[in-house]
Amino acid sequence: MLRRRSRQYLVTVAMLVFVAVATVFAINLIVDPFNAYRETATDYFDPGKRRLAPGMAEDYLYRRPDLVLFGTSRVGMGLSESCAARPNARIMKVVLYGSHWYEQSNMLRFIIEQDHRPDEIVIGTDFFAFSIISPPDGIANFDKSRFSPDYNAFSYHAENLVSAYALAESLEVAQSTITGNPRVISATRNVDQLGNGHLFAYMLWRAAQPAPLGIKENVEQSLRSFERTLRAVQQAEIKITIVFLPTHVLREVAIDRSGQRELINLWKQRLVGIAARIGEGRIAVWDFQNCNPVTTEIVPKIGDLDHPMKYFYDPYHFTRTVGQDVLMQMLGDSDQTSELGLVGVRLTLANVQSYLHQVEREKQVYAADHPDQIEFFDQILSGPPPQTRSIE
């Protein structure tokens, strides 16, 4: 009798465990919080999901793009997956918000290892992606994606389907979707609620802080990795374009105040040299970080919600209007001119130093012509660090 009861107890426990695991499995499969199972999941819950690495990798495998726009939030927010210069191309943004070169190099490795490879990759690069070596913990679930160098198929599906972490994410996604409360504040909503002046103040204060210790060594290590990765992409017979995307001139002023200008200019020269050495003239390097009618747009005062900027959300992130201009200049006809006045310069070993010197002179002219904007910047630095929410 005791043995029979023991067996019944074990069967009951096993059934309860099975039901619990099956329930978790079903919830995670239907909600699919990381966008890993697009064929079985419903798109009803998409509004509540964050942009995470697992879904980005799966999306790449599903969409099989001809042209990849690659980078961080600046590519994600500013560039569009449609371009008049490539009207028939399947364009996809492969971006990871807040990522550094560690994640980005592995993402590029993943792309070139697939059976389908794009014909062309546009790499939107940023100095700060090169300045941090240690990968941030769990950035956008990179370590749980196919991008990760430690990817394991069994662990990947177990994590996405039956883990408590995936269940918690599924419940948050469902709650966000049902209640209509977004988990991520969009750039336009942040501008509407806080104003460009507030967002500029927050990011300019951070950009003007002194460089952390060890940054030169970090940049050097990232550059060596960049050269290896770029060489692998080149050997995969993929056309490469590298671009320093537009930033507002006040961001460049902040960089000057931080004491990092010399290092950043050296970093740009090194990237141009790497591209020339590997591509032998076939890898284009473009720079839009100069003074022109777009990058010198007037920043409204803090608290001014009535005059939103046309070209920027904050010092780093530009609007899609600017992004279309960037793509047309890089990918369009060689004589393509900007309707906005945005200036893109193709950098080579022959012109990079003179170009960087010209930008320094342009900033001096800007400061003399816009004392009110410089005063706005100085007031930001004289106070405590502004607070705001992260945007996506």
Average pLDDT over residues 63-77: 95
Q: Tokens 């930033």 correspond to what residue?
A: 247
From CA 142, how far away is CA 104, in angstroms rounded?
Answer: 10
pLDDT reading at 84 higher than 60: yes
Reported as a single tens digit per residue, the pLDDT across 37-51 is 877 777 888 888 888
**Quick one: pLDDT at residue 34?**
85
The number of angstroms, rounded, from the C-alpha of 223 to the middle of its chain's C-alpha atoms is 18
pLDDT reading at 1 higher than 70: no
The secondary structure element, H or E, covering residue 102 is: helix 101-113
pLDDT reading at 24 higher than 50: yes
Tokens of 61: 């495998």
Residues 4-20 as b or e (16 or more Cβ within 10 Å = b): eeeeeeeeeeeeeeeee
Query: What's the chain's Rg over C-alpha atoms?
Result: 24
3 falls in which pLDDT band (50, 70, 90)? Answer: low
pLDDT reading at 4 higher than 90: no
From CA 121, how far away is CA 187, in angstroms rounded?
Answer: 25
Cα Dmax for the chain: 95
Contact 143, 155 (CB under 8 A): no
Contact 264, 255 (CB under 8 A): yes
Q: Angle CA(333)–CA(336)–CA(342) in degrees, nearest 5?
A: 140
2 falls in which pLDDT band (50, 70, 90)? Answer: low
**Quick one: pLDDT at residue 137?**
56
Average pLDDT over residues 245-263: 96
390 falls in which pLDDT band (50, 70, 90)? Answer: very low
Average pLDDT, the chain: 90
Least confident range of 249-258, 300-309, 383-392:
383-392
From CA 140, how far away is CA 52, in angstroms rounded?
Answer: 5
The secondary structure element, H or E, covering residue 122 is: strand 120-125
**Quick one: pLDDT at residue 146?**
94
**Quick one: pLDDT at residue 50?**
81
Polymer length of the chain: 392
Tokens of 95: 């971006």
392 falls in which pLDDT band (50, 70, 90)? Answer: very low
- The pLDDT > 90 percentage for the chain reads 62
Contact 99, 129 (CB under 8 A): yes
188 falls in which pLDDT band (50, 70, 90)? Answer: confident
Least confident range of 146-150, 180-184, 317-321, 374-378:
180-184
**Long-range contact set of residues 377-386: C-beta below 8 Å, sequence gap at least 24:** 377/204, 377/250, 377/253, 377/254, 380/200, 380/201, 380/204, 380/205, 380/208, 381/204, 381/205, 381/208, 381/257, 385/202, 385/205, 385/206, 386/198, 386/201, 386/202, 386/205, 386/302
Q: Higher model confidence: residue 133 or residue 33?
A: 33
Residue 68 has φ and ψ, to the nearest 5°, of -105, 130
**Quick one: pLDDT at residue 154?**
93
Residue 381 has φ and ψ, to the nearest 5°, of -70, -25
Tokens of 202: 């927050």
pTM of the model: 0.91
Q: Tokens 């500029």 correspond to what residue?
A: 200
**Quick one: pLDDT at residue 391?**
45
Strand order in the sheet with 67-71: 91-95, 67-71, 120-125, 239-244, 284-287, 345-347
